[in-house]
Structure 1
Amino acid sequence: MNWFVAKVVYQIICGPGTHAPQFDEQLRLVSAANIGDAWEKAGELGEQGQYAFKNQKQELVKWQFVNVPEVYPLSELKDGMELYSRIEEPGNPDTYLAWLQMKSSQLEASTVLAFAHS
């Protein structure tokens, strides 16, 4: 068996879907004999991962599987290896950088909190 990184994409639809389009891109580690099998397995994971719930306004929110647009073979697994790369071209670089800093701060805070409770 070989290891692959597959991108599984969901569209997030809330209520009638009149909101700004949202997509959840997930990178999944998949073990398969070849890239074709990895793509099929990732598609099955995508189908199984669909779900829906009611939000506070009682609107249906659903993660609807779209497809698997990318599969990359991993020749080996080692500490610090790059699994995926994407060039981002944000409309507003300052907003993008602020968002990255906020996400990093939240992760740092939750890590420190989890360490303090262990």
Structure 2
Amino acid sequence: MDEDFETQALDSTLQSPSETLLSIRLLDFKTSLLEAIEELRIRRETEINYEDQISKIVVEKQELEWQKETLQHQMDALQQQNKEAMAVLKKQGKYQLAVETKEKEIDGLKEALKALQVNC
């Protein structure tokens, strides 16, 4: 292609002014066309890169959503376990309190029985 330009440049010295003007316009058109083609090529490469990046981001987003769901399920399970453990502790606490109360009542009755036995 450069040879065409060189040939045209040599020929232009032998051409008439209108032919020279036409050659200049043709050269300008070819230059503009090459620039447009290069810009299109760069744009295509950029679009391909953007599409690749978008695809990677979409995959990463999906993986993060799955991780979030998994963690949410784990958190729900742990909250349920905590709730059940607290219920068991409350029951144990109530049972322990009942046992302590009964023991105090028994001790009180024993004291009262001793006092009655001493008086009789």
TM-score normalized with structure 2 length: 0.23
Q: TM-score, normalised by structure 1?
A: 0.23
Higher relative contact order (CA 8 A, sep 6+): 1
